[in-house]
Structure 1
Amino acid sequence: MALATLLSRRDALSAARTAVPAPAAPEAPPVNRVPLVLSLVLLAGLSVWVFAAHGALDGTLLLLGGGLGLTLFHSRFGFTGAWRQLVGVGNGTGLRAHALLLGTTATLFALVIGTGTGLFGARPAPTAGPLGVSLVLGAFLFGVGMQIGGACASGTLFAVGSGQTSIVTTLVGFIIGSTLYTWQYSLVDHLPSFPPFLLSDHVGWAGSWAITLAALALMVLASLAVQRRRNPPPVGAVPTARGALRALRGAWPLWTGAVVLSVLGAGVLLVSGGAWGVTSAFGLWGAKVVQALGGHPQGWSFWRQPGQAATLSGPVLTDKNSLTDIGIMVGAAVAAAAGGAWTLHRRVPWRTALAGLVGGVLLGIGARLASGCNIGAYLAGIASGSASGWVWGAAALAGTWVGLRLRPLFGLTNPKATDSIC
């Protein structure tokens, strides 16, 4: 919490130096009663069904996903806007929130994995991907896709859950891109790479934790230096309720979202043995659709792998990432409706829809190439002390720079200092 206080004070001081004062947050609009009731009923019904049909492990994962979705929406915690703000106007507020999320998660991962603590018989393991062409190319494509499609992996889910129809095309593209990857998996299966590198294998979990926090501190200092040099105006304020009601229908500070997300992500690790992830579920959903249309994805080389074959042959509601993904969308719907922000946009400009679709395809292919997204590769990788997480972040940041320059081709505006961080 001391780190959170320090970051909050530094951001306040930075905002005080700017020429434009930070705008006051407007009052939250009235509760969207019908969407709130429907989303609560859906979350309760799904939870009862999963607990009864598949057991406490899967039911707990669904509820953790609901908590993640609620937190993501209330704090508007995302990666696309944070990197857009950093690259576009030099505002590092979002990146410093990432540092807090990464550092808190790294601390909890070190405690859980380092002590071998798990629930439901889980044996927690770190996330570490190979270092090679697939990682760099995939993360770069993901960075481009984020800026064209308008959302990252977790951002896509909570935006769809909150009624942002324009992001539905991004989700569709995400699923298509993931499915295309699994279909043509043999083309990229043997790209050059080095074995994964985990700090804990060399300096233990205490050493891994210390090095990771030191690296994150350098990231914070670098973002502050960039922000001081470019001196961006403060970002726009999000509508929020006041007082105690802010917890249920208001905008949470980014540091609050970072801490709560890290705790919930550690919960996923505790009960399942694996870190919170998002995008592998999209390939599964696409394969299930292909099967429903009469196709045979079980014959593709990707789905012939023993672990993947078992996933494809089982129900969607027993897949770890599918459970948390569905929970995120429903949890975000609850939060958005409670905050009066659930809105179904009936009209989406065709160029915006095309951008979402193209960006989503790049996101899907990129995430699978890199063996993960901003959550499964970046967050989980860095928190695990894996070099792959840092490489993913650097490549995705480069992709962000390119993506910002491609946005005007789809009629999308360049980043502005008043954009939201999410």
Structure 2
Amino acid sequence: MTRFPPSSVSTTAVSPAYPPRQFVALGASAALILALTGYLFSTQGGQTSLVLLLGAALGLALYHASFGFTSAWRSFIVHGRGRALRAQMLMLTIAVCLFFPTLASGELWGQNVNGFVRPLSVSVLFGAFIFGIGMQVGNGCASGNLYHAGGGQLRAIPSMIGFAAGALWATHDYEWWTTQPSLAPVALIDTLGVLPAIALNLLVFAAIVGLSLWIEKRRHGTLERENVTQTAGARRLLCGPWPFVWGAIALALLNFATLALIGRPWAVALGYPLWGAKAAEVLDLGLDIDFWGYWMMPGRDTALMGGILEDSASLMNIGVILGALLAATLAGRFSLEWKLPLRQWLGTLIGGLMLGYGATIAFGCNIGAYFGGIASGSLHGWLWLVAAFAGSFIGTWLRPLFGMKRS
């Protein structure tokens, strides 16, 4: 995820001074969430409406904390600043402590639960690598584009369009990728047991934190400090901005709530292939999508035949956009920003294609594969992280080709 200018996301506290247009935006965003929630409740039931609200809560947390993956990794790569990276380790620490015992039991509050445990394959390596390039060239990742768009940053839309197109392209090639070399999935929970698996993960998180502290102190002498706000706790919780720590805690808890509600971790990239397929149908591109192997798999065939609002991943993505919209209006900072130089527009589109293709063949994005994979105790999550971080190095240094700063 990328931090856009202060007009959309800021770490400095500003008391919302709601002018009339902000009142209108705030009312419209709240009404939109309530209306869609009511419609889903009446047509599909309470669980579906809760999926939307859970997505909205994720969008609000992402926006208020400006919780980033793209900018966090780039800041560490270019400047050696690791504050945001350390927040990710806190998020993962909370997640594994919650997920591992639950996944080992296989049930949570009467709901059968399963993690994302995937093969260690060439497709994960290549897909995550090009995803890492794409997130830097495209100026955002899967979840970042959603909450930026919801906050009024329409510049994220070309990347989202590219993401959907790239994901659809990957579904055409999906069967070929499944024939490439791979090792069997490794679930640390099953291999080591719950407590040893947690201990091993915490050790790795601590090592990453220690390395980031060492690099930052060596390069700068001191650690980067977060801006201090004088806003009262309750008001800050509602209107932001949040410290990274708040965002890390919120995302971990909300991902666990996702596991409890729908039986699997939070996944963003799962929705994009369906969006691309639906767009291809509307545009009448003449593609025989029904006969592609990806769409013949159980669950995906049902999603293709159904509507967008019947797909839990798509519904949560929509919720993230609406939640970010609500957060931006609560903060009094909502504004539509579209202006984008041609080279940057091209970069975001190309980056989006790489994001979509990479995420689909790598079994997920920064949320489903990295966050969800590691929280599930799957080694493919760590493989994804290494490959995507390597891709981010290249993507960071490619940014000037598209008129973007490296920093």
Q: TM-score, normalised by structure 2?
A: 0.92
Q: Per-residue deviation at 1:185?
A: 2.5
Partner of 1:410: 402
Among candidates 66, 72, 96, match of residue 106 of structure 1: 96
Matched, 1:334 2:329: no
Share of identical aligned residues, percent?
39
The one-letter code matched in structure 2 to 1:291 is E
Partner of 2:153: 164
| Change in CA separation of 1:407 and 1:238 when aligned onto 2, cut-off 3 Å | farther
Per-residue deviation, 1:239: 8.6
Q: Contact conserved, 2:16 with 2:330, CA < 8 A, in 1?
A: no
- For residues 43-54 of structure 1, the aligned pairs below 5 Å read 43-54=33-44
Tell me: CA distance 1:156–1:238, structure 2 relative to 1, closer, same or farther (3 Å): farther
The one-letter amino acid paired with 1:117 is: E
The corresponding residue for 2:393 is 401
1:358 aligns with 2:312: no
- Output the amino acid matched with 2:374: I
What is the aligned length? Answer: 392
Q: Give the equivalent residue in structure 1 for 2:362.
A: 370
- Change in 2 beyond 3 A, CA 1:177/1:306: same
Question: Letter of the aligned partner of 1:388 in structure 2?
Answer: H
Secondary structure of the structure 1 residue equivalent to 2:35:
helix
The one of 375, 378, 383 aligned to 1:383: 375
Pairwise CA distance, 1:347 = 2.2
After TM superposition, give the deviation of residue 141 of structure 1 in Å: 0.5
Q: Which one of 122, 128, 139 corresponds to residue 133 of structure 1?
A: 122
Matches within 5 A, 1:14-93: 25-31=12-18, 32-93=22-83
Q: How does 1:252-401 map to 2 (within 5 A)?
A: 252-294=242-284, 295=286, 296-401=288-393
Secondary structure of 1:163 counterpart: coil
C-alpha deviation, 1:24, in angstroms: 8.8
Q: Is the 8 A contact 1:166 1:352 kept in 2?
A: no
Cα distance in 1 for partners of 2:145, 2:361 equals 19
Q: In structure 2, what residue type is equivalent to 1:133? A: V
Which one-letter code corresponds to 1:59 in the other structure?
S
Q: Is the 8 A contact 1:177 1:365 kept in 2?
A: yes
Match of 1:246 in 2: 236
How far residue 238 of structure 1 moved from its aligned partner, in angstroms, is: 9.6
Query: How far off its partner does 1:186 sit?
Result: 3.2
What secondary structure, in the 3-state scheme, does the structure 2 residue paired with 1:287 have?
helix
Tell me how far 1:235 sits from its aligned partner: 7.3
Deviation at 1:243, TM superposition (A): 4.8
Give the ranges of 4+ consecutive aligned residues of structure 1 lying more than 4 Å apart after TM superposition: 235-243
Counterpart of 2:247 in structure 1: which amino acid? Answer: G
The answer (yes or no) to whether the contact 2:369–2:384 under 8 Å persists in 1 is yes
Give the 3 Å change call, closer, same or farther, for CA 82–268 of structure 1 in structure 2: same
CA RMSD of aligned residues (A): 1.9
Change (3 A) 1:184 1:202: closer
Q: Is the 8 Å Cα contact of residues 36 and 337 (structure 1) preserved in structure 2?
A: yes
Unaligned runs of 5+ in 2: 1-9
Q: Distance in 2 between matches of 1:383 and 1:392?
A: 13
Query: Structure 2: how far apart are the matches of 1:383 and 1:171?
Result: 26
Letter of the structure 2 residue corresponding to residue 25 of structure 1: T
Q: Provide, for residues 189-241 of structure 1, a one-character-per-residue CA deviation record: whole Å limited to 9, x for no partner.
A: 31111011111112222221121111111111111111111117847859985
**Alpha-carbon deviation of 1:48?**
0.9
Q: Secondary structure at the match of 2:156?
A: helix
Deviation at 1:373, TM superposition (A): 0.4
Are residue 146 (structure 1) and residue 146 (structure 2) matched? Answer: no
Counterpart-to-counterpart distance in 2, 1:190 and 1:278: 25
Distance in 1 between residues matched to 2:48 and 2:350, nearest whole Å: 33
Question: Which residue does the alignment assign to 1:13?
Answer: none
Rate the CA distance shift 1:402–1:28 in 2: closer, same or farther, 3 A: farther
Change over 3 Å in CA distance of 1:299–1:344 after alignment to 2: same
Q: CA deviation at 1:273?
A: 0.9
